[in-house]
Amino acid sequence: MHLFAEHSNAGEDPWLRRGRIDGCRPWYRKARPIRAGAVMPVMELPAARTLRRMAETLNACPDPAGILSQLVEAICRNTGWTTAGVMCIEENDGVALVIARYNPNRIGPPLNDRWTLATSPTRMALIHNAPVLIPDAQTDDDFPGYRDEARERDYRSVAVLPLGCCDGHGRQMVLSVQSPRVMTPADYDLSFIEALAGLAAIALEKLYRLEEEQAITSRAQAARIRREEMLRNALAEDSLSLIAGEVATLFDCPVLIVDLDGSEIVPGRSPAPETLSDADWARAVAGPARRDILRLARHGGCGAPRFSEAVLDCGGRRLVVPAQRVAIEVDGHLTGALILFGAPGTPAPDAEEVETARMVLGVQMLRSHVRFRNATETSGELYAEIVAGGCRDLRALGGRMRRLGMNPDAPARLIAIDLTDENAEMATDLLNVLRRAMGRQPEPACAALVDSMILCHLEDPAGAGEPPLIRRLIDETQWFLGRRPVAVSGRICTALTDYAAAWAECRRIAALARQFGRDGLLSARDFGPYPMLLAAAGTGEVREFVEISVGAILRHDRSHGTQYLATLASFLDQGCRHQACADALGLHVTTLRYRLARLSDLFGIDLSVPEARFSLGLAIRLSGVGAASA
């Protein structure tokens, strides 16, 4: 902070002289910074003792107002200045507000507590971080506000100093002192005033830090108490709706909670109340927006601490709203999500509140996860045992099936959904989706994971036609996977002993579908004689036929990295047309002819004989399908 001293011009009062400093504004003309190398007076011992007493007094003050009051009073009692005040700067309003004042002579007109920054030296003191001195405010034209009040209240010299800190609202503060007489430079006591101001700034910063720490501790304690209460409720209550209401109180924005394992969505307030009421939002969540919400819960944003745009279909109304997904996991498995909705420019929610909500919802959804996992393991083990065949205690199997809500004596149909190319977590999530779809239908139905497939057991008392639930399950699967699935409708089973053969047929047809590149809902009649031939693919005769026909080609391709079998299969599929086969393989016709010639030379294949072409085509199909269904 600059100190100001007089100029050495003989015969002229330097504080009344209208000099000019290069690079300084006009308001700075009456004061000169102290020259380099000038010797500063050593502070006298009484002043040092006063500073020590003031440091103790300021540190003992319990609030900022007390510190500022002690500061201005100490300045006036220990210097030649008679009145003092502290002002805070309101930059938005362009004013300086007096927040502390010492004025022992209160006789006179009301004091001015509001100063316009444009005509006040406070802003200049802050910009230059140095005192601004007005030797005689009654004759100064640079600051008309001070001139008018100085004449009205009869004071002359004024000094304005930056306090070097902010108030509790983050507003910068300045110190202003006045004297009823024109003071000489020796009377200014700037070093002493600056020392007092520094002590006050230190005391204020200490008090603000203490208040901030106390506020943080108080918030942490309140959050801990609230978290403990919510956890107790989550452990005591098996109701996601109740816990969702408590979680919603943690945030100012609308929230939505999704329990993937429990197939439950709990909506809160509408994220767009100006276009969608809370009641309409609840209906949209239960209906047309459900799929978009489930997709957002599974894949939206990966829990990044920011809002991103989400698009929801609310029944003919397209809702675009910023949303943030908070994943809820149990043992590394995604069990649900907390979705926070905001407005454009909404700041990220408090991380501590988000973690509290994640913990409470994780405890609540643990129940759904355990129930779902137990049901999955129970149904999977039961149906794996049923379709394996050879069980001697059919009555025990029937009893276990009845506990799942299925009648073992009723005619039923098996639906196999092929998930060979999907991971285990995807299969588990799809199983949950299909179970939810089955639960909304009046017909008894059950689903289980068996052999990398989802087995759907549908009771079919009529025994004819396609149950409506089948089409619903295919639609749900296609939506979840984002593609048409391979689904096989098996034969009608009238007894437990029929399930093994029906499931084996479903697996063979699924293998044929992969081999022929088919998808959708399929059955045995979609593949002609192949299912019947494939039923014998496990016998030694069929394996021997495949080995004799194409076994040598298979071994040669594996050992040499060639593509002779794929070339032969494509040539037969294209009806032995060279140009069509070359286009399908992306080869030149000459290259294709060379490969076919090498096939003839290496393996003695004669493609001009119709019987040879049929045998090779059948062997190729049986080799691929047999390996897939083994």
* DSSP per position, 408-474: TTS-EEEEEEE-TTS-HHHHHHHHHHHHHHHHTSSS-EEEEEETTEEEEEEE-TT-SS--HHHHHHH
- For residue 319, is pLDDT > 60? yes
Among 84-88, 90-94, 117-121, 591-595, name the one with the lowest average pLDDT. 117-121
Q: Could you tell me what percentage of the chain is helix, strand and coil, using 3-state DSSP and rounding each to the nearest 5?
A: 50, 15, 30
pLDDT at res. 543 = 74
**Averaged pLDDT, 144-149:** 80
Q: Rounded to 5 degrees, what angle do the CA atoms 412, 414, 415 make?
A: 140
Tokens for 67?
């510190």
Mean pLDDT of the chain: 80
**Angstrom distance (rounded) from CA 210 to CA 216:** 10
pLDDT at res. 132 = 85
Alpha helices in 154-304 (DSSP H): 190-236, 240-248, 278-286, 290-299
**Averaged pLDDT, 30-40:** 43
- For residue 222, is pLDDT > 80? yes
- For residue 17, is pLDDT > 50? no
**Domain 540-629 coded CATH 1.10.10.2840:** yes
Interstrand relation of 520-522 and 486-493 (parallel, antiparallel or unpaired)? parallel
Among 84-88, 227-231, 309-313, 343-347, name the one with the lowest average pLDDT. 343-347
**Averaged pLDDT, 537-562:** 80
Cβ neighbors of 492 (< 8 A, separation 6 or more) are 411, 412, 413, 460, 463
pLDDT at res. 454 = 93
Q: Who wins on pLDDT, 201 or 146?
A: 201
Among 459-473, 495-509, 551-565, name the one with the lowest average pLDDT. 459-473
This model's pTM is above 0.75:
no
C-alpha dist (Å) from residue 212 to 165, 225, 465: 16, 20, 73
**Averaged pLDDT, 184-207:** 82
Q: Who wins on pLDDT, 110 or 251?
A: 251
- For residue 238, is pLDDT > 90? no
Q: Who wins on pLDDT, 96 or 39?
A: 96
pLDDT band, residue 55 (cuts 50/70/90): confident
pLDDT band, residue 34 (cuts 50/70/90): very low
Per-residue model confidence as pLDDT tens digits over 259-304 = 888 778 888 889 888 888 889 898 888 888 888 888 888 876 544 5
**Domain 391-530 coded CATH 3.30.70.270:** yes
Q: Are 225 and 244 in contact (CB under 8 A)?
A: no
Q: Are 609 and 572 in contact (CB under 8 A)?
A: no
Q: Is the dihedral of CA 375, 379, 382, 385 positive or negative?
A: negative
pLDDT band, residue 415 (cuts 50/70/90): very high
pLDDT at res. 306 = 62
pLDDT at res. 541 = 66
Q: Who wins on pLDDT, 22 or 314?
A: 314
Under CATH, domain 26-209 is a member of which superfamily?
GAF domain (3.30.450.40)
- For residue 455, is pLDDT > 90? yes
**Angstrom distance (rounded) from CA 217 to CA 352:** 13
pLDDT at res. 187 = 66
Which fold is adopted by the domain 240-371? Answer: Beta-Lactamase (3.30.450)
- Residue ranges of domains in the chain: 26-209, 240-371, 391-530, 540-629
- Decide if 26-209 and 540-629 have a common fold: no
**Angstrom distance (rounded) from CA 459 to CA 465:** 12
- For residue 416, is pLDDT > 90? yes
**Averaged pLDDT, 189-201:** 85
Nearest alpha-carbon partner for 327 in 337, 317, 318 = 337
Angle subtended by helix axes 589-603 and 564-573, to nearest 10: 110
pLDDT band, residue 244 (cuts 50/70/90): confident
